[in-house]
Amino acid sequence: MELGGYSGAMSDDDELDVELEARLEEAEEFEPPEAFVEQANVTDESIYEEFEENWPDAWERAADLLDWDEDYDQVLDDSEAPFYEWFTGGSLNASANCVDRHLDERGDEPAIEWVGELGEERTYTYEELHREVNEFAAVLREQGVEEDDVVTMYMPMIPELPIAMLACARIGAPHAVVFAGFSADALATRMNAADSEHLITCDGYYRRGDALEHLDKAEEGLEQVDQAVDTIVVDRLEDDFDHELGPNQSDYHDLLADQEGAEVEPVERDAEDMLFLMYTSGTTGKPKGVKHTTGGYLAYTAWTSHAVLDIKSEDTYWCSADIGWITGHSYIVYGPLALGTTSVMYEGTPDYPEKDRMWEIVDDHDVTQLYTAPTAIRAFMKWGQEYPDKHDLSSLRLLGTVGEPINPRAWKWYYKHIGNESCPVVDTWWQTETGGMMITTLPAVKNMKPGSAGPPLPGIDARIVDESGNEVDAGRAGYLTVNNPWPGMLRTLYKNDERFISEYWNEYSDPDEDEWIYFPEDGAKIDEDGYITVLGRVDDVINVSGHRLGTMEIESAIVGVSGVAEAAVVGGDHEMKGEAVYTYVITEDGYEGDEDLRQEIIESVEDSIGPIARPEAVVFTHELPKTRSGKIMRRLLEDIANGDDLGNTSTLRNPEVVEEIAEKVQGD
Ligand code: WTA
């Protein structure tokens, strides 16, 4: 096999560049850059074997990265599988691990470097972070928040968000962060599901330089919440936007001022105590409340930050995700701060005020690792290399991607134009449920193959199987499974153990034999070297710009519009977003599928989920293609959206409708 690791110096010579470009296109595999290997946290390939031979005890490595109040007595307790427990008997506090323990050596070093949309910057040293987390923990106590009360946060990328999360962790109150781009309805559904009586939000934020209201949306959501709620409001927009506080609302900074200098002893939490809840989309319309724990989750995110992102405390590391999603929880807040590093946090969009915003931040802050999403990389590629070329990106040592499959062209562009062919690229597969990275290359150990995430991490037993659970041959598509537990795994779905089993453990497990296999609901293939390429979801979830959306949730928003009889939603391929929302709608008698109805449908989806779920296409039809037993043929609707060959449709109950719909889609 030809390897594409380049050791020679780059030249400006055009001819050479063309030749290199051609080699990049051809290269299937890239070696870890030598300079990176020399300094990497994990360099010995034997770690894979060690985990295999010494499993599950090898996971002590992860636990060793943390400070424990009480040592655990068992690494893994599988007696109630699949309700696994990790590091049982141990106790610790996540906020003490992410803040307090760094004070001696890193007190004056930055913990969070925040960059605002308008270009303003705020740095919190570990000392300053410690102070505000303590004060806010005192505020929460004063507000009556008790251990195990769920505190909801509905906030954009402002420093008060990670501060509030850490303050909750300090007093043992699990947080439930709702992405600020979600709608009022989505907030209400989640607060009701979690019985949450506390909300932290803000008056608004900036997008492309404009002040955007947020409090109205939060209040609208609260109207639909069953329980009484106390709300704390961060004044982000100051003089740009006046807001009045209603009853049960208090101002974040006023409350903080009342607690000036307060210190709150971190509560000792059992390893298995809940650290947070994160709602995510699944097959049914109801979001799933994924429960993560204090010991296993924190150990797992710290370990993967160390082994995969190669984080050292003196780094300036940047993950450009939003904290409203799991990536931000694990790899902006918990993993990096557990390791005492500097975590950059950016409020805004990558193309405001100019398309070089990201590169300007990398340059100004001397960012050492950048972790972003394929959808962003595809946009950078489209905008052109002149934007990164304007800046000195030589501080970068490692690049990462997450959230959706990355096509080899985008991978190579990232490797070449951002990493200057001297940074390893880690393509990391994982999920809200897994808590942290599961499949990717260890950057100093394994060669990289563009388009393939890589082998499972040490200690992770991922396989590709057919419908009966037998492993498929290399190169064949199948279903991804994870055949042993890991510390970062979800423990259950909040207050719904049954759904936890039916969603993740029913497909391939054999309960009679006490054999439990986790099913992530992704399709994938494996190559001869054991590298896994994840192909995408096999359930009714679509992935729009790395955002996970349930088609059923979108369908119920559409069916709620008067005049709509039936709707089917599928994901169609999209050049920039990866997937886009395609909706097929049957109207009730007497209703026209006209522009007004189309607008109402789009608005209803935005109201019930948020603008990220906005349909790309609304196709009116008088029928949907169905099997003889009456099931909607979603695959076919996807093929139609993609303009793919539709194959044989004669086994349908209503084959004639397929052509008709396809013509409409093409005509759009
Ligand atoms: C997809 C995000 C291919 C996958 C951390 C998974 C990926 C879903 C990758 C989880 C990757 C994530 N390559 N697909 N590197 N990373 N996915 O819960 O379909 O928002 O099941 O977690 O994203 O999305 P979630």
Give the separation between CA 506 and CA 516, rounded to whole angstroms. Answer: 9
Phi-psi map region of 80: left, alpha, beta (phi>0 left; psi -120 to 50 alpha): alpha
Residues in Cβ contact with 244 at an 8 Å cutoff, skipping those fewer than 6 apart: none
Q: Write down the pLDDT at residue 2.
A: 31
Is 617 contained in some domain? yes
Is the same domain home to 195 and 247?
yes
Is the same domain home to 16 and 55?
no
Q: Write down the pLDDT at residue 21.
A: 60
Nearest CA to 194 out of 218, 179, 175 is that of 175
The answer to whether 233 and 217 are in contact (CB under 8 A) is: no
- Its domain, for residue 20, covers 1-26
At residue 113, the 3 state secondary structure works out as: strand
Is the same domain home to 309 and 422?
yes
- pTM of the predicted model as reported, rounded to 2 decimal places: 0.94
Task: Output the CA 536–ligand 1 centroid distance in Å.
Answer: 8
Is the same domain home to 493 and 604?
no
Task: Output the CA 184–ligand 1 centroid distance in Å.
Answer: 25
At residue 197, the 3 state secondary structure works out as: coil
Ligand 1 pocket: which residues have CB below 6 Å? 280, 325-327, 402-405, 427-432, 453, 520, 522, 534, 536-537, 543, 548
Give the separation between CA 426 and CA 441, rounded to whole angstroms. Answer: 6
Task: Output the CA 502–ligand 1 centroid distance in Å.
Answer: 20
Is the same domain home to 494 and 583?
no
Give the separation between CA 615 and CA 558, rounded to whole angstroms. Answer: 10
Is the same domain home to 22 and 101?
no
CATH number at residue 263: 3.40.50.12780
Is 463 contained in some domain? no
CATH number at residue 605: 3.30.300.30
Structure tokens at 189: 């559904």
Is 77 contained in some domain? yes
Is the same domain home to 340 and 195?
yes
Q: Which of 548, 551, 577, 612 to mutate to test the pocket of ligand 1 (most atoms within 8 A of CB)?
A: 548
Structurally, the chain folds into a number of domains equal to: 3
Is 508 contained in some domain? no
Is the same domain home to 310 and 169?
yes
Q: Write down the pLDDT at residue 648.
A: 83
Q: Write down the pLDDT at residue 242.
A: 87
Task: Output the CA 468–ligand 1 centroid distance in Å.
Answer: 24
Is the same domain home to 438 and 544?
no
Is 524 contained in some domain? no
Give the separation between CA 500 and CA 498, rounded to whole angstroms. Answer: 5
Is 410 contained in some domain? yes
Judge if the upstream peptide bond of residue 353 is cis by omega within 30 degrees of 0.
yes
pLDDT digits (tens, 9 = 90+) for 336-353: 999 999 999 999 999 999
Q: Write down the pLDDT at residue 22.
A: 60
Residue nearest to atom 6 of ligand 1 (CA): 431
Is the same domain home to 1 and 68?
no
Is 139 contained in some domain? yes
Reported for 99-106, long-range contacts at CB under 8 A and 24+ positions apart, including other chains, are 99/126, 99/129, 99/130, 99/133, 99/166, 99/337, 100/130, 100/266, 101/67, 101/340, 102/126, 102/313, 102/340, 103/127, 103/130, 105/313, 105/340, 106/313, 106/340
Low-confidence ranges of the chain (pLDDT < 70): 1-27, 668
Residue nearest to atom 25 of ligand 1 (CA): 431
Is the same domain home to 184 and 218?
yes
Is the same domain home to 135 and 13?
no
DSSP 442: -
Q: Alpha helix (H) ranges present in 64-214?
A: 94-98, 103-106, 126-142, 160-171, 184-193
Is 492 contained in some domain? yes
Q: Write down the pLDDT at residue 262.
A: 98
